[in-house]
A and B are shown apart, each in its own frame.
Chain A
């Protein structure tokens, strides 16, 4: 259960349910870059609030943040 939804260790954030280390001063843009994701195709929810795309660069991440990164996939 180390990577489950409500188990962040110190200095970590939850990204899509998995704990990841939080780097000092990291913004949402920085997180997406580190994950090699194109900000234009990903929608971000931070602690259940949608973050508008233009705010990614100035949205800092804090310890314990729950980040959801979603996009469109095939579906009916």
Chain B
């Protein structure tokens, strides 16, 4: 493996800045699938995250809206990033984004347009179309996409404040399938690259951050762990460890052993 020559100075790691907003944490967490809201809030706090995703859904009129996430989550404590999850067309995603903005918190949107029900892989053409419309409407668009460089470049051109390629399919926990493509995207984009989806455990988070990306977005890996709070801590540490390893610059890989101790000075 070759070393990147754009490795930043390891002694200083400036905070992550997305769309002009600073984040100390490089971990963004989802709020779905937790067994209860109290566990979710404890896990979010333990992870050190500053930005959490939420979904836009119809109020369940039989439940008087008690599934509202904001009954449990303080929007002053966590920056809300609404998503367009579940949308299959550009128009649908645009509609959800506008509804999310009308909630009155911010103009940020995690744009997600799904192209296939079985794999939940993104429809990149529809994503690009929606990204252009939303960026024109002054949304701060963080676009979920696949690990395709060309799409990532087009999304950046469309005005997205961050491009978010997947590590592997949503909810799969398969980890980072194509580190080469992720490195390629990171090396070519100016906007922050956040890897979104597919991280299953701490080593996946660490290995993904070791590719030099700016951050991670995950949900299921923390939410469905036996101990979500424990996993949140592990993910925090792994994200940080991966970042530090990237900044420090890893040793080259060699397919031969090289002794670490002096070969001279051995006894006769």
Interface set of A (CB-CB < 8 Å, partner B):
15-18, 35-38, 41-43, 45, 48, 50, 52-53, 68-76
Contacts and interface: CB of A to CB of B under 8 A. Distances in A.
B7 to A, nearest CB: 31
B61 A74 contact: no
A61 to B, nearest CB: 15
Interface in B144-181: 170-171
A73 B55 contact: yes
Given A37-B64, A41-B70, A45-B99, A75 B59 contact: no
Given A36-B64, A76-B219, A71 B31 contact: no
Contacts of B57: 70-73, 75
B46 to A, nearest CB: 17
B135 interface: no
Contacts of B220: 76
A70 to B, nearest CB: 5
A71 to B, nearest CB: 5
Given A16-B61, A37-B59, A73 B67 contact: yes
B230 interface: no
Contacts of B61: 15-16, 18, 35, 69
Contact of B102 (A17, A36, A50, A76): A50
Contact of B65 (A48, A50, A53, A71): A71
15 contacts: A16-B58, A16-B61, A41-B65, A41-B70, A42-B59, A43-B102, A69-B58, A70-B58, A72-B68, A72-B82, A73-B55, A73-B67, A76-B31, A76-B83, A76-B219
